[in-house]
Structure formats: structure tokens, C-alpha cells
Amino acid sequence: MNRYGRRITLAVAALVIVMAGCSTLPEGRDTAGVNQTIKAWKAAFEARDVEEMMNYYSGRYRGPHGGKRQVYLSMQAAKRDGALDNITIDLSEAKAIVDGGAATYGPIFVKGGPQEMTLGFRLLRENDGVWRFISTLPNGGI
């Protein structure tokens, strides 16, 4: 095999290694990215920091009561009224399922006084690389 043939063989081998890595590494990183978003959202929620919470909602978010603006207004009102004070968020059974640039996460158990609900989120990895909520999924979503 001449020098040119060896270079092609090495280039093809390198491409195969890179492509094999692409099929395994990003999913783990993507799952970690989804988990990072959820943990940051939960920390903001527990701190009752509505502004920070909203950083994890996409401008494309659509939920049962409207878009991101409606969530913001509802959360501000709930904070003002003290409705967020006794809410706990349990992620103990939740998991992320990533499919390319989209993911689902749940179930998330939310408890506040006598009320409980289970929800999940659908997320998209946006252009800045951050995973953000695009919809809320009833009953845990997974």
C-alpha cells in the first residue's frame, strides 16, 4: 500500500472512531444536560425565585393554561399569595429520555398542603445548547 492509500485508510479509521463516539457520547451528555436543567429549575422553585425559574421555559412553551408569559404571571401571583411556600418537589422516580434534540422528563411529584399532582416536561435543546421546557405533560409524562 502506498503512502496515499495509508492516509485514506487512517482517515477512514478516524472517521469510524469519531462516528462511533458520536453515537454513544452525546446521549449521556444530553441526559446530563436535561438533568441539569431540571435540578436548576427545582432549586429556583425551592428558592421561590420566579425570574430564575423562567429561564428554563422556552419562548415556545405551551402548557395547559397558556404560554411562558401566563406561567410567569401565575407564578408571580402564587409567590405573592404565599402559595409556593409549602410546595415540595420530588424527583426520586424521575428519569430523562432523550431522543436527539428533544427529551421527556418525569414523573415529578409536586406536593403542597393537601394537594398533590404528578407531572412531566417535554424539553428541547435550544440553539444556545440549554434544554428548556416546551410543554407540561400530565401524569408524569413517561
Please tell me the distance from the alpha carbon of residue 110 to that of residue 94, in angstroms, as a whole number: 12
Domain ranges of the chain: 3-138
Its pTM stands at 0.77
Core vs surface per residue 96-124: b (16+ CB within 10 A) or e:
bebeeeebbbbbbbeeeeeeeebbbbbbb
Reported as a single tens digit per residue, the pLDDT across 9-22 is 323 322 222 222 33
Q: What size, in residues, is the chain? A: 142
Q: Is the pLDDT of residue 24 over 80?
A: no
User: Do the Cβ atoms of 133 and 58 come closer than 8 Å?
Assistant: yes
Mean pLDDT on 87-101: 95
Task: Average the pLDDT over 112-116 and give the result.
Answer: 85
* CATH code of domain 3-138: 3.10.450.50
Query: pLDDT tens digits, residue range 40-53?
Result: 999 999 999 999 99
Neighbouring residues of 89: CB distance < 8 A, sequence distance ≥ 6: 42, 45, 46, 108, 109, 110
Mean of the pLDDT values across residues 103-115?
92
In this prediction, residues 121-138 reach a mean pLDDT of: 95
